[in-house]
A and B are shown apart, each in its own frame.
Chain A
Amino acid sequence: MASASGRQFRAILRKDIVMELRTKEMLMSMGLYALLTMVVYFVALSQAGSEFDPRTIAAGLLWLAFIFTSLLGLNRSLVHEKDQGCLEALLLSPVDRPVIFFAKVVGNLTFLLIVEALTIPVFAFLFLQGHALESGAFSLVPLVMVAGSIGISGIGTLLATMSVNTSGKDFVLAMLFIPLVYPLLLGAVTATNAAIVGGPDAMMVFWQGMAWVAGYDVVMLLASYGLYEFIVGA
């Protein structure tokens, strides 16, 4: 049974990756959106003057961009499944619902991490040039990105499944997702801020933020796992 679930998990993930590489719908829209957000930030902060230190708000700006970028991707990931009733066909096959859930989460996580990996260098180039960064602490930023993105993909995949059948699915997903992702945002911004700004207590603050994010990931993944079967059968 475990091997059957593993085979089905790999099949769903491979199918999603093949379709995305073929259409590039999610990666293109998410990547362009993230890039445009960086440009908007740059224009908005260009008049802030030389006294202003963008590192103090960098973590918040980054996570704001990631949250809205992920909304775009999450919506699209389930729209693929709704085309021509594909989700029904998937649900008709002898697969445990959590296998579908985890395959979708990993697919969404992969695409989100690719976009984040492309966004961070652009962000650093536009906003952090010429500002001192503690290389040791800054190298921990990818760790927060991965941990935060796991939570975003977990709860986002569940909510996207719930909202995909509603008439205003984009709006419904945003209305459900943003309040629920708020605790994650709090921990992720705290940890990222500590990694970027540094300081004497930076590592302690960083790990406190990371613990908060990790706790959120565990709780939300377990809750989503438990609820997924109910939601697709409701």
Chain B
Amino acid sequence: MKETGHTDTALEVRDLTRAFGVRKALDGVSFDLPRRAFLSVFGPNGAGKTTLIKVLTTLLNPTSGTARVLGLDVVDDAVEMRQRIGLISHNPLLYPDLTAEENLLFFAEMYGIDRPAGRVNELLEAVELDHRRLDLTRTFSRGMLQRLSIARALLHRPEVLFLDEPYSGLDPHAMDILDGLIAQVRNDHTFVMISHDLDKGLELCSHALILARGKVVLFEPREAIDEGAFRATYRSTVGMGVS
């Protein structure tokens, strides 16, 4: 394993560009994020938020520029990096024809988790789905799927958690569970969350970033943010109302 403990930076992004044909979804994005920070990423649809997360989670290769997560390069050290990151998306990322338990045990095998049954039990209890462990996930409600998705993402105890609109489609109970789980691991994890909800994003974050047309419009630590000015910048820059 690479020596990455010496750096106190969780994310180092330099001139990151990702193009699809002639269209640049990310255009020269640069920022640094310290460890144990919570970054909220805002921007309108098509701003490049999901592409940014996909590049940072190794799902897409950058066209140019570099990105390092925990000191590991997203291209050269991808396999090692994936062991240390997790993603909660608005998509559940679960197999509908496997049971809740089978889904978690499958991913536990993929991550090489020791004593997977114990870890799976612990997480199913944490997301209050232990009573549905033997049910196929295609029978689950949206909220239940999202809760199980949270368990899947936390299975291997990732150090950096990427959240792509994690509250989307959640019922209030599922939102409370997600809030509780984030609060539990908040102090020793780094978070990167995409959100359309300015209130929620600003409430949780230690840093905020606004993306528009693939470029960074604003990147500031929370304490430097004047909320009124931030909302005005968000509205004027991206040309849309605040949710």
Could you list which residues of chain A lie within 8 angstroms of chain B, going by C-beta atoms? 4, 7-8, 11-12, 15, 18-19, 22-23, 80, 83-86, 88-96, 233-234
Q: Which of B184-215 contact A (CB under 8 A)?
A: none
- Of A84, A94, A233, the contact of B83 (CB 8 Å cutoff): A94
Nearest CB of chain B from residue A9's CB, rounded to whole Å: 10
Q: In the complex where A19-B98, A234-B61 touch, is A84 in contact with B92 (Cβ < 8 A)?
A: yes
**A85 pairs with B98, CB closer than 8 A:** no
Nearest CB of chain B from residue A118's CB, rounded to whole Å: 23
Nearest CB of chain A from residue B208's CB, rounded to whole Å: 25
Nearest CB of chain A from residue B169's CB, rounded to whole Å: 12
**A92 pairs with B57, CB closer than 8 A:** yes
**B111 pairs with A94, CB closer than 8 A:** yes
The interface residues of chain A lying within 8 Å CB-to-CB of B176 are none
Nearest CB of chain B from residue A89's CB, rounded to whole Å: 4
Interface of chain A: mostly helix, strand, loop or mixed: helix
The distance in angstroms between the C-alpha atoms of A209 and B79, with both chains bound, is 40
The interface residues of chain A lying within 8 Å CB-to-CB of B59 are 88, 91-92, 233
| Cβ of B28 under 8 Å from chain A | no
The interface residues of chain B lying within 8 Å CB-to-CB of A8 are 109-110
**B97 pairs with A94, CB closer than 8 A:** no
Could you list which residues of chain B lie within 8 angstroms of chain A, going by C-beta atoms? 57-61, 79-80, 82-83, 85-87, 89, 91-98, 102, 106-107, 109-112, 145, 152
The interface residues of chain A lying within 8 Å CB-to-CB of B80 are 94
Q: In the complex where A8-B109, A92-B57, A94-B80 touch, is A15 in contact with B98 (Cβ < 8 A)?
A: yes
**A11 pairs with B82, CB closer than 8 A:** no
The interface residues of chain B lying within 8 Å CB-to-CB of A86 are 93-95
- Of B91, B107, B112, the contact of A7 (CB 8 Å cutoff): B112
**B93 pairs with A84, CB closer than 8 A:** yes
The distance in angstroms between the C-alpha atoms of A15 and B94, with both chains bound, is 12
Nearest CB of chain B from residue A20's CB, rounded to whole Å: 9
**B61 pairs with A94, CB closer than 8 A:** no
Given contacts A83-B95, A84-B96, A85-B89, 8 further A-B contacts (CB under 8 A): A7-B112, A8-B110, A15-B106, A91-B58, A92-B86, A94-B110, A94-B112, A95-B110
**B97 pairs with A80, CB closer than 8 A:** yes
The interface residues of chain A lying within 8 Å CB-to-CB of B87 are 88-89, 92
**B61 pairs with A92, CB closer than 8 A:** no
- Of A11, A15, A88, A233, the contact of B93 (CB 8 Å cutoff): A88
The interface residues of chain A lying within 8 Å CB-to-CB of B60 are 233
Instruction: Please name the residue on chain B nearest to A232 by beta carbon.
Output: B59
- Of B82, B98, B145, the contact of A93 (CB 8 Å cutoff): B82
**B95 pairs with A80, CB closer than 8 A:** yes
